Amino acid sequence: MQIAVLTFDGFNELDSFVAAAILNRLRERGWEAHITSPTPQVTSMNGVTIERQQPLDFAAKADAVIVGSGIRTREIAADPLMLGRIRLDPARQLIGAQCSGTLLLAKLGLIGDLPACTDLTTKPWVVEAGVEVLDAPFVAHGNVATAGGCLASQYLAAWIIARLAGTEAAGEALHYVAPVGEKADYVARALAAVQPFLPVDAVARSA
């Protein structure tokens, strides 16, 4: 499984790095989550500069895509040339968005009139784009999911793993990163957030 974690200039580190780290727990199964950016280098909202692992056009070929958030998302959402470079296909890919990444999905026409999740800062912009915003950390409709709040990135990662490898695999990945002494509760809470949006076969499938 090849996964693109879209990461733009001004990105939120928690969105990109937490999701990528959890997804890469399945590297032994052949999974790879890549920081995917339009430029060779991007600088985070807190001044951390990193080199991309894949160019933006990799997103069109990936099995799953997570659209991270950042302080420049509104600029990106208003840039038709940049939006035109983001080619996603919900018929073939799992697509998730985090916080202001939900605004990009809305502008790309991937949410339509379905309710979505985003962070409190981005909520007015997503509403302005014609999308109902839920007071919830995670929601999925078919192959498109949205999450609200920086630490909800774990839910996007868990949803992708559960959809493509089963809930047992998702639980194992979450268990590894969960705080010691709270692992069982942490895993249960995360899986409870995504399980209502999983197909029956994903819930039943073992790792």
> Are 15 and 99 contacting, i.e. CB atoms less than 8 angstroms apart?
yes
Q: Is 149 left (phi over 0), alpha (psi -120 to 50) or beta?
A: left
pLDDT for 200 equals 72
> Partners of 36 in the beta sheet?
6, 54
Higher pLDDT, 204 or 149: 149
Q: pTM of the entire structure? A: 0.94
pLDDT at 207 over 70: no
For 173-184, the pLDDT digits (tens) are 999 999 999 999
CA 161 vs CA 6, 45, 54, 154: distances in Å: 17, 28, 21, 11
Per-residue pLDDT band at 31 (split at 50, 70, 90): very high
- C-beta of residue 110 within 8 angstroms of C-beta of residue 144: yes
User: What are the tens digits of pLDDT across the range 127-155?
Assistant: 999 999 999 999 999 999 999 999 999 99
- Which whole number is the average pLDDT over 104-110? 95
